[in-house]
């Protein structure tokens, strides 16, 4: 259940009231929050005027939590209690962590659900809780700047994040008490910012190389409609890998051949990042490392660094090639290339992108801020604030969805890069004579073998009448809504027996774990369950009240009879009447009554809207062309 902040009922009905919405770029290295206000969209600074919040969380022995610059300052001296780049751990299982490289100076534990946990001085924390602390710090900044609690946020994620990583991000937002309007792909957010700000049109490629993730997206921009054509990338490739390559170079050059301590690892990574940044403007940089028994003094040239970075950059270019092919376009069809993410400041990255696309890439909008700005624009639209320009995002499924079939093979049901919302049906049959149950195993990924894909959910269809193998017909329907949320249902055709699951991927937190954390977390300690239920019922009621009131004002006279209007107005009054009651069930019941009474009106409005969309076009018109 969404944990919404509600305004006073009377106030919310006022259509001129602007809601507080924000876009959050929850980055590997830095995070930002932006909001649309009078006069434009801007990222919000902290009290000392700094916009970037380092995505660093430090846990102290007195159980307090420090986020941002102050936490980063302690990174070298207190490595195990200071968590950096936590985004790389989001939605990952313990066994995934080993693939991320060995230089993670944390003490890991494994939770019951297979999630890695970090041991810190004040206890054990999950990556989701660490992310929630970053989100909370940003939200607080927005609350102070905008003068009130946020009504809703859009949080950006790498386009290539799978369901588990997305779910983990949503769980973090829930812990931070934020109402998530949508998770938005980072490159799509950047395209929105460019499209609305610089008026770029046509096919645009967004090359987004951040601290820990790489995304490439191709979009078609046309009069405010942003159509994602293809997306691809690598959720474990980013600036951190450049730093790691540099660190390995330094260790090799120093001749140090013993295991590195956590302090040494952290020192190396921080120094490497500094050297990388220096080399983005200089031809060479001094390297000075003094950490315990590791000691090195020397110089690295830009050419040497480029050689280290080249294999990583080539990996990103391969992903570009595939995305261009998936989009069904040729390189000359691409009008502009946009650079996003701090790692695109590396000159050899810019050169490689320019060479592949055959055009000089743009970085007119600050590559660090562009994602948060795009997210703020989308948040403003989704929260229901009206604006002058028409805007719509048509997003795609980033990874294919399928089912396990005999022999551990993955059968794709919906291919990657399919525009959502989408619904797709496929028929399967039984393998053995007399088989009465079937295990439906939902997987995500591009590989042929189930073991190489991400497992999302398992459920059973029981009660299949015994038949010879291959005779039963099982219809499986995959449905993905505009939020990218998947539900799967299976039906045996002759009897109609059905099983259904809303997919909540494993490796995220279980519902119980989230509830327990909520209970323990800062903002909910004193909140009473009854009060929460009433407040949720009111939020829902106000939303329906608003919707019906607005619909009546706009289309009531055109689409309804006088009697129908009177009926609806009575139901509205009834609901307004019970809104202040301290009875969640009563409010919910009256909300449902109003919703039901307005169902037919809603259907008529939708039909009218579709008719008017293509009004003026007729089949005759095409015949004349």
Partner 1 sequence: MDFKQNYFEIFQMLASYQVDTDLLADRYRELQLSVHPDKFADASDQEKRLSVQWATQVNAAYITLKEPLKRAIYMLEMSNTNIEHNPTLDPMFLMEQIELREALEDIEASGDAGLTQLDQYRADVNKVFENLQRDFDAQINDSIIEAEQTVYKMQFVHKLLAEANQLEERLLDY
Residue numbers annotated as active site = 25, 87, 186, 208
Name which of 213 and 598 has its Cβ closer to partner 1: 598
Name which of 337 and 541 has its Cβ closer to partner 1: 541
What's the closest the beta carbon of residue 223 comes to partner 1, in angstroms? 7
Q: Does 605 bind partner 1 (CB under 8 A)?
A: yes
What does the block give as tokens for 286? 């001094």
Q: Does 559 bind partner 1 (CB under 8 A)?
A: no
Q: How many CB atoms lie within 10 A of CB 585?
A: 11
* Interacting span for partner 1 (CB under 8 A) from 368-376, 421-429, 464-472, 568-576: 421-429
Q: Does 99 bind partner 1 (CB under 8 A)?
A: no
Name which of 362 and 391 has its Cβ closer to partner 1: 391
Integer Cα distance of 500 and 124 in angstroms? 35
Q: Which of 201, 227, 304, 513 binds partner 1 (CB under 8 A)?
A: 227
Q: Which of 433, 460, 481, 557 binds partner 1 (CB under 8 A)?
A: 481
Q: Does 449 bind partner 1 (CB under 8 A)?
A: no
Q: Which of 544, 559, 560, 587 binds partner 1 (CB under 8 A)?
A: 544
Q: Is 474 left (phi over 0), alpha (psi -120 to 50) or beta?
A: beta
Could you tell me how many residues of this chain bind partner 1 (CB under 8 A)?
53
Q: Does 322 bind partner 1 (CB under 8 A)?
A: yes
Q: Does 119 bind partner 1 (CB under 8 A)?
A: no
Q: Does 593 bind partner 1 (CB under 8 A)?
A: no
Integer Cα distance of 385 and 375 in angstroms? 14
Integer Cα distance of 164 and 454 in angstroms? 8
Q: Which of 150, 393, 461, 559 binds partner 1 (CB under 8 A)?
A: 393
Q: Does 293 bind partner 1 (CB under 8 A)?
A: no
Closest CA to 274 of 287, 264, 256: 287
Name which of 223 and 297 has its Cβ closer to partner 1: 223
Question: Is residue 530 helix, strand or coil?
Answer: helix
Q: Which of 122, 360, 419, 495 binds partner 1 (CB under 8 A)?
A: 419
Q: Does 3 bind partner 1 (CB under 8 A)?
A: no
What's the closest the beta carbon of residue 595 comes to partner 1, in angstroms? 6
**Cβ atoms 470, 430 nearer than 8 A:** yes
Q: Which of 60, 547, 586, 589 binds partner 1 (CB under 8 A)?
A: 547
Integer Cα distance of 531 and 70 in angstroms? 36
**Cβ atoms 232, 326 nearer than 8 A:** yes
Give residues with Cβ within 8 angstroms of 600, minimum separation 6.
Answer: none
Taking the chain, what is the end-to-end CA distance rounded to the nearest angstrom?
52
**Cβ atoms 387, 381 nearer than 8 A:** yes
What's the closest the beta carbon of residue 383 comes to partner 1, in angstroms? 7
Q: Does 462 bind partner 1 (CB under 8 A)?
A: no
Q: Which parts of 325-354 interact with partner 1 (CB under 8 A)?
A: 325
Q: Does 493 bind partner 1 (CB under 8 A)?
A: no
Q: Does 543 bind partner 1 (CB under 8 A)?
A: yes
Site string for partner 1, 185-224 (x = CB under 8 A): -------------------------------------xx-
Three-point CA angle 21, 338, 223, nearest 5°: 60
Name which of 354 and 606 has its Cβ closer to partner 1: 606
Integer Cα distance of 354 and 410 in angstroms? 37
Q: Does 405 bind partner 1 (CB under 8 A)?
A: no
Q: Can you give 167-232 as a three-state secondary structure string?
A: HHHHHHHHHCCCCEEEEEEHHHHHHHHHHHHCCCCEEEEEEEECCCCEEEEEEEEECCEEEEEEEE
Integer Cα distance of 441 and 420 in angstroms? 22
**Cβ atoms 414, 478 nearer than 8 A:** yes
- Classify residue 246 by its DSSP letter: H
Q: How many CB atoms lie within 10 A of CB 70?
A: 11
What's the closest the beta carbon of residue 160 comes to partner 1, in angstroms? 13
Q: Does 437 bind partner 1 (CB under 8 A)?
A: no
What's the closest the beta carbon of residue 581 comes to partner 1, in angstroms? 21
Query: In 489-498, which positions are buried (b, 16+ CB within 10 angstroms) versus exposed (e)?
Result: bbbbeeeeee
Give residues with Cβ within 8 angstroms of 72, minimum separation 6.
Answer: 54, 56, 82, 84
What does the block give as tokens for 554? 């706009």
> Phi and psi of 446, rounded to 5°?
-100, -10
Q: Is the dihedral of CA 100, 101, 105, 110 positive or negative?
A: positive
* Interacting span for partner 1 (CB under 8 A) from 57-65, 494-502, 558-566, 595-603: 595-603
Q: Does 390 bind partner 1 (CB under 8 A)?
A: yes
Q: Does 382 bind partner 1 (CB under 8 A)?
A: yes
Site string for partner 1, 155-184 (x = CB under 8 A): --------------------------x---
208: buried, middle or exposed (CB in 10 Å: 19+, 13-18, 0-12)?
Answer: buried
Q: Which of 98, 423, 523, 593 binds partner 1 (CB under 8 A)?
A: 423
Q: Which of 510, 550, 567, 574 binds partner 1 (CB under 8 A)?
A: 550
* Interacting span for partner 1 (CB under 8 A) from 256-264, 341-349, 369-377, 615-623: 615-623
Q: Which of 258, 573, 614, 624 binds partner 1 (CB under 8 A)?
A: 614
Question: Is residue 615 helix, strand or coil?
Answer: coil
Give residues with Cβ within 8 angstroms of 543, minimum separation 6.
Answer: none
- Classify residue 465 by its DSSP letter: P
What's the closest the beta carbon of residue 138 comes to partner 1, in angstroms? 22
Instruction: Count Cα neighbours of 509 within 13 Å in the Cβ-side half-sphere.
Output: 23
Q: Does 487 bind partner 1 (CB under 8 A)?
A: no
Q: Does 432 bind partner 1 (CB under 8 A)?
A: no
What's the closest the beta carbon of residue 327 comes to partner 1, in angstroms? 13
Positions that interact with partner 1 (CB under 8 A): 181, 222-223, 225, 227, 318, 321-322, 325, 381-384, 390, 392-394, 418-423, 446, 479, 481-482, 543-544, 546-548, 550-551, 595, 598-599, 602-603, 605-607, 609-610, 612-614, 617-619, 622-623, 625
């Amino acid at each position: 259940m969404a944990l919404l902040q509600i305004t006073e009922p009377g106030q919310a009905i006022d259509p001129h009231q602007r809601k507080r919405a924000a876009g959050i770029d929850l980055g590997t290295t830095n995070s930002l929050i932006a909001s649309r206000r009078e006069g434009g969209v801007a990222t919000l600074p902290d009290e000392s005027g700094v916009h970037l919040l380092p995505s660093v969380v430090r846990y102290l022995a007195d159980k307090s939590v420090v986020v941002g610059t102050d936490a980063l300052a302690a990174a070298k001296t207190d490595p195990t209690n200071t968590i950096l780049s936590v985004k790389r751990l989001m939605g990952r299982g313990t066994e995934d962590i080993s693939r991320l490289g060995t230089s993670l100076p944390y003490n890991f534990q494994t939770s019951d659900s297979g999630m890695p946990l970090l041991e810190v001085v004040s206890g054990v924390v999950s990556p989701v809780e660490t992310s929630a602390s970053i989100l909370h710090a940003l939200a607080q900044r927005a609350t102070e700047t905008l003068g009130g609690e946020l009504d809703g946020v859009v949080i950006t994620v790498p386009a290539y994040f799978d369901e588990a990583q997305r779910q983990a991000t949503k769980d973090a937002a829930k812990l931070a008490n934020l109402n998530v309007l949508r998770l938005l792909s980072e490159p799509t957010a950047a395209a929105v910012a460019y499209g609305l700000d610089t008026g770029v049109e046509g096919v645009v490629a967004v090359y987004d190389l951040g601290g820990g993730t790489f995304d490439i997206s191709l979009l078609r921009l046309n009069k405010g409609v942003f159509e994602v054509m293809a997306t691809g990338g690598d959720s474990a490739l980013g600036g951190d890998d450049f730093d790691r390559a540099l660190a390995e170079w330094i260790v090799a050059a120093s001749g140090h051949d013993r295991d590195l301590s956590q302090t040494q690892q952290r020192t190396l990574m921080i120094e490497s990042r500094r050297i990388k940044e220096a080399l983005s403007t200089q031809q060479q940089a001094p390297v000075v490392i003094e950490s315990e028994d590791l000691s090195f003094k020397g110089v690295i040239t830009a050419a040497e660094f480029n050689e280290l970075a080249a294999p990583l950059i080539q990996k990103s270019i391969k992903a570009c090639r595939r995305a261009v092919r998936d989009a069904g376009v040729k390189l000359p069809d691409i009008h502009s290339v946009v650079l996003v993410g701090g790692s695109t400041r590396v000159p050899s990255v810019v050169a490689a992108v320019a060479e592949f696309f055959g055009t000089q890439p743009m970085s007119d909008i600050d590559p660090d801020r562009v994602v948060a700005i795009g997210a703020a624009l989308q948040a403003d639209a989704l929260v229901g604030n009206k604006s002058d320009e028409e805007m719509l995002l048509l997003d795609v499924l980033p990874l294919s969805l399928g089912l396990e079939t005999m022999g551990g093979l993955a059968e794709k049901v919906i291919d990657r890069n399919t525009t959502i919302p989408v619904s797709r049906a496929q028929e399967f049959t039984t393998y053995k004579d007399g088989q009465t149950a079937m295990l439906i195993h939902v997987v995500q990924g591009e590989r042929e073998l189930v073991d190489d894909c991400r497992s999302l959910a398992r459920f059973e269809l029981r009660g299949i009448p015994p038949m010879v193998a291959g005779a039963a017909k099982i219809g499986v329907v995959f449905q993905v809504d505009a939020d990218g949320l998947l539900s799967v249902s299976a039906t045996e055709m002759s009897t109609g027996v059905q099983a259904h699951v809303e997919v909540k991927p494993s490796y995220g937190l279980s519902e119980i774990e989230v509830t327990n954390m909520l209970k323990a977390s800062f903002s909910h300690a004193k909140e009473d369950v009854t009060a929460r239920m009433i407040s949720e019922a009111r939020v829902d009621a106000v939303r329906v009240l608003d919707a019906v009131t607005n619909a009546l004002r706009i289309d009531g006279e055109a689409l309804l009879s006088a009697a129908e209007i009177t009926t609806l107005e009575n139901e509205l009054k009834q609901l307004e009447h019970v809104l202040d009651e301290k009875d969640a069930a009563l409010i919910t019941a009256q909300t449902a009554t109003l919703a039901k009474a307005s169902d037919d009106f809603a259907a008529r409005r939708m039909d009218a809207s579709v008719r008017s969309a293509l009004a003026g076009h007729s089949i005759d018109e095409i015949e004349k062309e």
